[in-house]
Structure 1
Amino acid sequence: MNVATTAQQTTSKHTYRPGFVWDAHACLPLDPNTPIDLLDKYVAGNVDYVCVNVGMDMNTIPHILRVIAAFRAKIAAHPDKYMQIEKFDDLAIAKSKGLLGVGFDLEGSVMLQDMPDMVPVFAKLGVKQIHFAYNRNNSVAGGCHDVDMPLTDLGRDMVKSVNANGMIMDCSHTGRQSTLDIMAVSSKPVVFSHANPKTLGGHERCVDDDLIRACADTGGVIGICGFQRFIKSPNVPGVPDMIRHIDYAVKLVGVDHVGIGLDTMPSVPGTTDFPDGVDRAYYWPAQRGYGPGAGSAAVFDPRKLPALAGGLITAGYSTDDVDKIMGENFMRVAKESW
């Protein structure tokens, strides 16, 4: 089923409602006490599916499992607003009911404990997307803020397990050579769920033109990120900032390979991502373009996504192209991967 055909679509100079809106990566505080109504910002932004992070390389397995259990329970407790997405066909079901579809992603592979057989375990818990290294090198792959290294033999087996077990293979935060190796090994499209062109963003966490081309060659998608450090905006990122990066990527690899992955990261008093402690200076080194900690920068608000769709129309994109950028491209990857 093409869920986009079920959507109300209206156009004017400034207004357009895409058929399906997909945010490929979002963060909530990694804490069982996190209020799930933080997702209401995505509802207000007409988002149909959002992929929420549930753990990173520096998080312990017990902590990640507590977060997954709590998030799943809270989503299930609000069947009038949200729906846990377990398989591709669930996207159309959630859309038809007016619900926000929610999937999970993992940022790293340390939680896989060097076992490809852990991939299907996390898949059964709702993890729909994964990348293998969070900024730093590990036994599977290299991180973008570390000595560049190839994908390991274990990493190659991990890619095959991801392909076989219904997850999207992501390369955000991954080192350059490991990214190229993952793309060579993967039998499914490979994405950057939340990354920006380095030519514009400048930051080491951004990706260069050759990586974007390699992503497109797999059939993948680069999700344009709304995080201020990577979008290189002096102010809170707005519609023109997002369109600037979208335009660049579209001109480089075509409209079929560009999407949205905002990387929102709200803070909530009384919650913590790192109850077991973490060396912030190691994962977010100041010499690699970070300030104190990982945050302290603004992110494009998901409630502005309707304005982004309208802005793309005003900028000259066709409704078909806006549909692709706002959701259909990532949906295509999900259909091939899940």
Structure 2
Amino acid sequence: MLIDGLQCGHFDRDVFNELRLADIGCVTVTCGFWEDTVESLDSLGRWRDLARENADLVGEARSATDIRAIVASGRTALLMGFQNSDLFQGRIRLVEMFAELGVRVVQLTYNNQNALGGSCYEEHDSGLARFGREVVREMNRAGMLVDLSHVGDRTTLDAIRHSEKPVAITHANPKRLFDHRRNKSDEVIRALSDQGGVIGCATYRNITGDDYCGSVEKWCEMVARTVDLAGIDHVAVGTDRSHNFVKRDYDWMRMGRWTRGVDLGASPPSRPGKAPPPDWLLQVRDIGKIEGGLAAVGFSQDEITALAHGNWLRLYAEVFGH
């Protein structure tokens, strides 16, 4: 059984069937990027409808116990998440309210500076703002996981130090293995580990690189080198796999409403459109190859269990509750 720390896109019954074929026990889904409060509520409503319509394949989870029960029923658990904090719209009380609606994972910033702190793409990372400290504290209290994947390094370190509960980098890789602004420095990864957090290694080619995308064994070698940095208890899977995206979706994800120009997000100018999937991950069901790949590069069964789902489950229990 595998837990995927983040996927995005337009899920449908075909995707849910693929998740089952890959034996994915739980996945955090992206309910929004730049959406405001009302748009985020609409998104949650659509996700609830989708889960109800496919209740034989998936179920919404709000706790580690929910995840275990859904997995035991032969289905995939869905955790509701957002890749930005715009859903709160500057209102601290909305953190608790969205938690009550089932939101379990929120990234502090997406690709731009916001009221909480700096992003990985800003020239100067401001660090965690006063409002950001309040939101982190409120997320801790409400049982919501702080995600730092697209967050700038200074803001990330501030959030790790300020949070009273472990935090996550749900979908990124070590910068020393592939030098990209979306990836994380050794200092960040070690601080995350020291605080009890988890990094989910991504398969997104633009931040993983062609070499580590060449085979599942090569990607698992990257996981092994991440374990060397963070420790076996602090590394997991966060593929960042997208489903059924077209150009309009990529434009929204990268540019939202904040620019009239063109922004490529993590894409290099030589590859401005959709990044090709890893050579070994052409279908969603291929995620199921990961556990075999981990064994092939030398991980023991206990270590594979930790990487595949144990570390996420431990973190979820600490943050959401059992």
Output the TM-score relative to the length of structure 2. Answer: 0.89
Bigger CA drift: 72-81 or 324-333?
Answer: 72-81
Bigger CA drift: 173-182 or 246-255?
Answer: 246-255
Letter in 1 for 2:2: V
1:129 to 85, 102, 105: 105
Structure-2 change in CA distance of 1:164 and 1:330 (3 Å): same
Q: Report matched runs for 1:72-87 at 5 Å.
A: 72-87=48-63
Letter in 1 for 2:302: D
Q: Structure 1, residues 278-315: CA drift from partner, whole Å, max 9, x if none? A: 648666458x8456657334254542233221121122
**How many Å apart are 1:86 and its aligned residue?**
2.0
Partner of 1:325: 307
**How many Å apart are 1:156 and its aligned residue?**
0.3
Could you list the runs of 5+ residues in structure 2 that have no partner in the other structure?
Answer: none
Cα separation, 2, equivalents of 1:296 and 1:63: 27
Partner of 2:93: 117
Counterpart of 2:294 in 1: which secondary structure?
helix
Structure-2 change in CA distance of 1:294 and 1:119 (3 Å): farther
Partner of 1:96: 72
Counterpart of 1:98 in 2: which secondary structure?
coil
Cα separation, 1, equivalents of 2:212 and 2:132: 39
2:116 to 136, 140, 143: 140
Q: Report matched runs for 1:156-305 at 5 Å.
A: 156-233=133-210, 238-268=215-245, 272=249, 274=252, 277=257, 279=259, 284=264, 289=268, 295-299=274-278, 300=281, 301-305=283-287
Letter in 1 for 2:210: S
Partner of 1:61: 37
Letter in 2 for 1:103: L
Q: Structure 1, residues 222-273: CA drift from partner, whole Å, max 9, x if none? A: 1000000111116955312321221111111211111000001122569747
Could you list the runs of 5+ residues in structure 1 that have no partner in the other structure?
Answer: 1-19
Backbone CA RMSD of aligned residues: 2.4
Output the TM-score relative to the length of structure 1. Answer: 0.85
Counterpart of 2:79 in 1: which secondary structure?
strand
Counterpart of 1:201 in 2: which secondary structure?
coil
Q: Structure 1, residues 148-201: CA drift from partner, whole Å, max 9, x if none? A: 111001100000011011111111000111000000010111111000011112
Q: Structure 1, residues 198-220: CA drift from partner, whole Å, max 9, x if none? A: 11121110111111101101101
Counterpart of 1:199 in 2: which secondary structure?
coil
- Preserved contact between residue 262 and residue 302 of structure 1 (Cα < 8 Å): no
Identity of aligned residues (%): 26
- Preserved contact between residue 136 and residue 283 of structure 1 (Cα < 8 Å): no
Bigger CA drift: 296-305 or 184-193?
Answer: 296-305
User: How many residue pairs end up in the alignment?
Assistant: 313
